Structure 1
Amino acid sequence: MTARIPKIVLSLLLAVILLGAVWLGTAGRPLMLLATGSVSHGLCDAAFVSHVDPDRVFREQHAPQMRGIAWAIHWRVDPTQHEAHASVLGAFGARAVFRPGLGCVLMHGDGPVPEAAGFAPEPIASPYPEHAVVADDPAIQHALDRAFAEPDPAHPRNTKAIVVLHDGQLIAERYAPGYGPDTPIWAHSLTKSLTSALIGILVREGKLHLEQPAPIPGWRSTRDPHHAVTVDQLLRMDSGLPFDETDNVLNPMARMTFLESDMAGYASRMPLAHPPGTTWGYSNLGYVLLGRMVTDAAGGSAVDAERFARRELFAPLGMAHTTIQTDVRGTLIGASDSYGTARDFARFGQLYLDDGAAGGKRILPEGWVAYSRSQTLDTGYGAGFWLNLKNDTRVPVWNAPWGMPQLPKDMYYARGAFGQYVVIVPSERLVVVRMGISLDYGDATGDLVAAIIAALHRQPQP
């Protein structure tokens, strides 16, 4: 009996190895590719777009999300080829490549890199000084101190940048070590608000209309239920496409972002979960389709799209370091893949505070800002921006608050994963940008803005 025990253990071990190999070759394969795709793309961006330490970004952003497999992920950055590679125990390899002027692109396979040469964009002048502006008001300095503090080391905030504009003036900013006024930071879903603005520019130019059926090639047939979806519904996330960012690791957003080479094609094939205009559902799918519309209107290529965004939006605002990246098909990833400095996003917030005009020039069409902050169905969402109108319900699926109840009702904001915010408070003539890597959303941005408002209202001492 005793002699049989090692044989039984060995047999069980072999069975476990065999089952693990089968799982990795079938159901587990997409999960591994998702992990390596995310790491390679994120570290390519860190090295060649943000110019921050990739090892630090892996520790703060990627490893905590990988949990049990972080130890098995091997990554390297190639500074000569401007690439980042990742694998899991030498398998499931992924590669992201930097293209000048376009940022990084996640490759699928070893084929040639489209538009590999990128382009040399014209420099954009920033309206702000080179050095960081320190707040004159000790109360505002204290508010920033608290925002950068780490009250719970087990759940770090990892605040990287805060910028405060009041009456159009830069009155305070602060950056984490290794970051500064010229450091582009991953904006995540702040990108959706940029995409909404680019759609607004196309509306101003008469190239799109809000109530028209969305010009998606696969939706042209009147027999297709998607044909009824309008541009407005994609902006408002009530198109009928499913709520695509759930707790499921392989949700539609993740599959589209890391496993698909043609992201807009994948989004256009997604069945509707509801009749258009009846139900709100958070939609990365819809904003990638909007990104495709911008790309098509600009000329069809990644370079065309990036030049359009720079010429029509970034340059007039002085957004000197902003890029919206594309997939390998050249589609602007209008849902999530922009990088910009906190100052750049403050300039973007100021555009909305100034009703869509900058430097005496109209950027967005008349009424676009009011449209963007008008309520969609019975939600706390507008058209590319979150609103501060709903305290009686919470965001479905996420069970998160719609807004920030400690702030004025007229506040509205752009929001991205890991604590990216552009908070616009018209009644206070205030824009506050907060950016970081807060995996647990414990960033207390609402409290930060409330403290800044309180400081601005404080009566001067005799």
Structure 2
Amino acid sequence: MTSRIIKIGCGMLALAAVTLTAFFTAGSGKDLSHLVTNSVSHSICTAAFVSRIDPEQMFKEEQLPNMRSVGWAVRFHVDPDLHEVRATVLGMFAARAVYREGLGCVLVHGEEPVPDAGGFRDSPIASAFPESAVVEPKDPALRRALDAAFAEPNPATPRLTKAIVVLHDGQLIAERYAPGYGPETPIWGHSLSKSITNALIGILVHQGKLRLDQSAPITAWAAPNDSRHAITIDQLLRMDSGLPFDETDSVLNPMSRMFFLENDMARYAATVPLAYAPGTTWAYSNLSYVLLGRIAMNAAGAGDAVAAERFVRSQLFAPLGMRNALIETDLAGTPVGSSHVYASARDFAQFGQLYLDDGVADGQRILPEGWVAYSHSQTLSTGYGAGFWTNLVNEGKVPVWDAPWGLPQLPKDMFYARGALGQYIVIVPSERLVVVRLGVSIYGGTGVGDVVAQIIAALHQQPVTP
């Protein structure tokens, strides 16, 4: 059982409590406070029950830096018997996240019963890697590259790298983990999940259940006079559907409202009006990938969270040997295809290998022929493809974020999955290389481009063996 209580001076506490209570109970302050407690309860739930790492450490590394002004007022409690976490601010705005076996954690807005509360158990997935021990490279140059990945050049803005895995020619040649993490630790992939969703759509296209050029089968958009009626699955994957850029500096942006304030994320996403004409403007879209998660599950005939998880496990995770992977759903049973996949670094590396091998795993075609090329083909004039980032644009910045499109230190054919807090799956076809970097890099810079460049240099220097 874990509880968090921060003690400060009683006078300061009383003054701050009066000020913050007035703010939190007025107008948008209510939404902000619920956003805080929901974010904390979900993060701590996944730390305690999915990743099985120290919840206190996760709070300090992931949550506290983003809420310095109110962090002292946040309380959370981990109940190992009920498999849930509750969080409050000043004793108010209670939030609850519940762990379900095999399904991860789900936010519950209130005390209503939790669908599929018992979760489910499935046959264990055989690992793609027979090695149980951590593979430390013997080559000094490769070891130095891993040293660079875990270095902390500026203590004021820690990178907090948690895992690095390197595959070359499909072989695990190097890996390293932070204390408390290891080859079996599922780590929150954040927007690496969008690339997983790309694969789920690809599987359903391969099965003839979806087409890229079809109008997105979303009931709320079905009326022919609806401006969203003609949006295609391709446009949702490419983020040029016309939906707004939803991950902005504003705390109450569409992404945060969807993740932390809604029981049915896909229903909410389907209500958001267009900001642009479809096919004309690229805008980063979590909304699109939550909708794609629902589209995929409808096409697969998966009507609830358990059926959704079984589909993903049987069609993707099991064939790739991703034994520690899961995708969380919301209360409505929709897989959160934008952001809620958890997997070990080895699992994510094996997923990257699928794309390096043109959608084939262990001799079995998982994705349609040409799907990988489609996935990293350019969208409009951007450095984005369809569920993956590319290295095709080295000028200009990503709109709103003011961040570079690619990793200019690396070959032009490189493409990659990228998630918040510095999650990366870097795929370099010309080098037959996959590098996964996972961490809790709140402050941005991870040095991942330089690290992969060092790994490539080490491979060119001499043959590398584990």
**TM more than 0.5:** yes
Can you give the 5+ residue segments of structure 1 that lack an aligned partner in the other structure?
1-12
Question: Which amino acid counterpart does residue 60 of structure 1 have in structure 2?
Answer: E
TM-score (structure 1 length as normaliser): 0.95
Deviation per CA, 1:129-171: give whole Å up to 9, x if none: 1111111211010111111111111100100000000000000
Q: 1:375 aligns with which of 362, 371, 378?
A: 378
Tell me if structure 1 keeps the 8 A contact 2:425–2:435: yes
Which residue pairs with 1:8 in the alignment? Answer: none
Question: Which amino acid counterpart does residue 314 of structure 2 have in structure 1?
Answer: R
Change (3 A) 1:408 1:19: closer
Shift of 1:288: 0.2
Change (3 A) 1:341 1:97: same
Which residue pairs with 2:44 in the alignment? Answer: 43
Deviation per CA, 1:396-425: give whole Å up to 9, x if none: 000100000000000000000000000000
**Separation in 2, partners of 1:200, 1:444:** 31
Q: 2:207 aligns with which of 205, 217, 222?
A: 205
Matched, 1:323 2:331: no
Which residue pairs with 2:308 in the alignment? Answer: 305
Question: Which amino acid counterpart does residue 195 of structure 2 have in structure 1?
Answer: S
Shift of 1:459: 4.7
Deviation per CA, 1:410-456: give whole Å up to 9, x if none: 00000000000000000000000000000112210000000000011
Question: Which amino acid counterpart does residue 168 of structure 1 have in structure 2?
Answer: G
Which residue pairs with 1:7 in the alignment? Answer: none
Shift of 1:27: 1.9
Matched, 1:441 2:437: no
Tell me if structure 1 keeps the 8 A contact 2:328–2:340: yes
Tell me if structure 2 keeps the 8 A contact 1:294–1:332: no
Question: Which amino acid counterpart does residue 414 of structure 1 have in structure 2?
Answer: A
SS in 2 for 1:439: coil
**Separation in 2, partners of 1:192, 1:83:** 27
Shift of 1:67: 1.2
Deviation per CA, 1:19-53: give whole Å up to 9, x if none: 95265242201111001000000000000000000
* 1:25-36 mapped onto 2 (5 Å cutoff): 25-36=26-37
**Separation in 2, partners of 1:34, 1:28:** 10
* 1:419-438 mapped onto 2 (5 Å cutoff): 419-438=422-441
Shift of 1:217: 1.1
Change (3 A) 1:221 1:51: same
Which residue pairs with 1:396 in the alignment? Answer: 399
Question: Which amino acid counterpart does residue 88 of structure 1 have in structure 2?
Answer: V
Which residue pairs with 2:293 in the alignment? Answer: 291
**Separation in 2, partners of 1:145, 1:95:** 39
SS in 2 for 1:135: coil
Question: Which amino acid counterpart does residue 143 of structure 2 have in structure 1?
Answer: Q
Tell me if structure 1 keeps the 8 A contact 2:85–2:96: yes
Q: 2:232 aligns with which of 230, 233, 242?
A: 230
**Separation in 1, partners of 2:360, 2:329:** 27
Question: Which amino acid counterpart does residue 162 of structure 1 have in structure 2?
Answer: I
**Separation in 1, partners of 2:274, 2:168:** 43
Q: Which protein is bigger by CA-based radius of gyration? A: 1
**Separation in 1, partners of 2:280, 2:408:** 26
Shift of 1:296: 1.4
**Separation in 1, partners of 2:205, 2:306:** 21
Which residue pairs with 2:254 in the alignment? Answer: 252
Question: Which amino acid counterpart does residue 170 of structure 1 have in structure 2?
Answer: L
**Separation in 2, partners of 1:209, 1:374:** 17
Tell me if structure 1 keeps the 8 A contact 2:240–2:281: yes
Shift of 1:391: 1.2
Which residue pairs with 1:147 in the alignment? Answer: 149
Deviation per CA, 1:220-251: give whole Å up to 9, x if none: 11011110100000000000000000000111
Which residue pairs with 1:116 in the alignment? Answer: 117
**Separation in 1, partners of 2:127, 2:23:** 54
Which residue pairs with 1:452 in the alignment? Answer: 455
SS in 2 for 1:269: coil
**Separation in 2, partners of 1:245, 1:23:** 23
Question: Which amino acid counterpart does residue 323 of structure 1 have in structure 2?
Answer: L
Which residue pairs with 2:77 in the alignment? Answer: 76
**Separation in 2, partners of 1:32, 1:379:** 36
Tell me if structure 1 keeps the 8 A contact 2:162–2:177: yes
Shift of 1:117: 1.2
Which residue pairs with 1:196 in the alignment? Answer: 198
Deviation per CA, 1:172-197: give whole Å up to 9, x if none: 00000000000000000000000000
Question: Which amino acid counterpart does residue 320 of structure 1 have in structure 2?
Answer: R
**Separation in 1, partners of 2:142, 2:276:** 46
Tell me if structure 1 keeps the 8 A contact 2:103–2:326: yes
**Separation in 1, partners of 2:174, 2:290:** 34
* 1:272-291 mapped onto 2 (5 Å cutoff): 272-291=274-293
Question: Which amino acid counterpart does residue 173 of structure 1 have in structure 2?
Answer: E
Which residue pairs with 1:338 in the alignment? Answer: 341
Matched, 1:220 2:246: no
**Separation in 1, partners of 2:462, 2:384:** 35
Shift of 1:300: 1.6
Change (3 A) 1:460 1:376: closer
Query: For the aligned residues, what is the CA RMSD?
Result: 1.5
Which residue pairs with 1:157 in the alignment? Answer: 159
Tell me if structure 1 keeps the 8 A contact 2:24–2:32: no
Change (3 A) 1:23 1:107: closer
Question: Which amino acid counterpart does residue 167 of structure 1 have in structure 2?
Answer: D
Can you give the 5+ residue segments of structure 2 that lack an aligned partner in the other structure?
1-13
Which residue pairs with 1:100 in the alignment? Answer: 101
Change (3 A) 1:194 1:18: closer
Structure 1 segments, 4+ long, off by >3 Å, are 16-20
Tell me if structure 2 keeps the 8 A contact 1:294–1:305: no
**Separation in 1, partners of 2:84, 2:440:** 23
Number of aligned residue pairs: give it: 448
**Separation in 2, partners of 1:371, 1:146:** 33
Tell me if structure 1 keeps the 8 A contact 2:137–2:173: yes
Question: Which amino acid counterpart does residue 360 of structure 2 have in structure 1?
Answer: A
SS in 2 for 1:408: coil
Tell me if structure 1 keeps the 8 A contact 2:128–2:322: no
Question: Which amino acid counterpart does residue 171 of structure 1 have in structure 2?
Answer: I
**Separation in 1, partners of 2:336, 2:463:** 47
SS in 2 for 1:76: strand
TM-score (structure 2 length as normaliser): 0.94
**Separation in 2, partners of 1:39, 1:18:** 22
**Separation in 2, partners of 1:132, 1:294:** 36
Deviation per CA, 1:303-328: give whole Å up to 9, x if none: 11110100000000000000010000
Change (3 A) 1:438 1:406: same
**Separation in 1, partners of 2:20, 2:456:** 58
